[in-house]
């Protein structure tokens, strides 16, 4: 009787481990592997590009436009893994005017717009991460502004948790891409390239991945609060 039980158990384990041996079990595995498909589309905007290099230093061997594109691709992958649809405002080293970036998101009627940049300061000690939304003076309680602020809070909290970087807080500014977009929109300044220590971390793909995962998880938490 005991042997019979072991034989039956061995059969069950091998069925689980063999693809296609049982349609029900295979179907169950496939369902578990696939992420939940979300309806929301997020436009990811890699700052600068082409003739606009952003902040750069030949001596220190970095270009902001290169780092923003690398990070933007990682953000796209992280959001796709969470089941979100994504669109990039640029996929390579091309110059895209700021108004076109906003127009891409507006014409798609995207749900969110996330712009990624790296910071620069003449003060080499300046460091940390800050997240911006549009400074709306006439109508600060408009739903897009309130939602953008909430998105900033969620993204900053997650990015700081995953990177261990200093938080410089949520801020308001009149940047064209967050002003001209019609959906909740934020601009992440993900670290200072003028700070030697922070620059070294930002140039490490593992650190960039932590930034990207933090942004994606912050987006997910923002939507979770609305569901
Ligand atoms: Zn920039």
Contacts of 7 (CB under 8 A, 6+ apart): none
Spell out, as residue ranges, where the chain has pLDDT lower than 70: 1-34
16, 113: one domain: no
CA of 184 to the centre of ligand 1 (A): 20
Residue 222 has a pLDDT of: 98
Residue 83 has a pLDDT of: 96
Residue 140 has a pLDDT of: 86
CA of 190 to the centre of ligand 1 (A): 10
Residue 224 has a pLDDT of: 95
- Quote the CA–CA distance of 216 and 79 in Å, as a whole number: 5
The catalytic residue positions are 189
Question: Exposure pattern of 84-97 as b/e (b: 16+ CB <10 Å)?
Answer: bbbbbbbeeeeebe
70, 11: one domain: no
- 76: part of which helix (H) or strand (E)? helix 64-81
23, 74: one domain: no
CA of 46 to the centre of ligand 1 (A): 9
CA of 26 to the centre of ligand 1 (A): 47
89, 135: one domain: yes
**DSSP at 59:** T
- Count of domains forming the chain: 2
pTM of the entire predicted model: 0.85
Residue 167 has a pLDDT of: 98
24, 44: one domain: no
121, 26: one domain: no
- Quote the CA–CA distance of 71 and 163 in Å, as a whole number: 14
Question: Domain range holding 13?
Answer: 2-32
28, 113: one domain: no
103, 159: one domain: yes
164, 207: one domain: yes
195, 159: one domain: yes
84, 21: one domain: no
Task: Read off the CATH number of the domain in which 45 is found.
Answer: 3.40.630.40
């Amino acid at each position: 009787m005991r042997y019979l039980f072991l034989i039956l158990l061995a059969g069950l384990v091998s069925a689980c481990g063999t693809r296609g041996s049982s349609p029900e079990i295979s179907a169950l595995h496939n369902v578990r592997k696939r992420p939940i498909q979300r309806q929301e589309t997020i436009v990811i905007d890699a700052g600068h590009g082409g003739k606009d290099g952003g902040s750069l230093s030949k001596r220190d061997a970095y270009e902001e436009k290169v780092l923003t594109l690398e990070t933007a691709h990682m953000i796209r992958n992280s959001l796709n893994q969470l089941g979100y649809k994504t669109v990039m405002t640029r996929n390579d080293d091309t110059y895209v005017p700021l108004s076109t970036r906003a127009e891409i998101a507006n014409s798609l009627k995207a749900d969110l717009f996330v712009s990624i940049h790296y910071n620069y300061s003449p003060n080499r000690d300046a460091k940390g991460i800050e997240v911006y939304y549009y400074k709306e003076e006439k109508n600060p309680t408009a739903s897009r502004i309130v939602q953008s602020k909430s998105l900033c809070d969620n993204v900053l909290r997650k990015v700081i948790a995953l990177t261990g970087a200093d938080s410089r807080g949520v801020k308001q500014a009149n940047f064209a891409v967050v002003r001209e977009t019609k959906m909740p929109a934020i601009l992440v300044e993900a670290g200072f390239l003028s700070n030697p220590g922070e620059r070294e971390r930002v140039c490490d793909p593992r650190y960039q991945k932590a930034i990207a995962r933090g942004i994606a998880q912050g987006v997910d938490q923002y939507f979770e609060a609305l569901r």
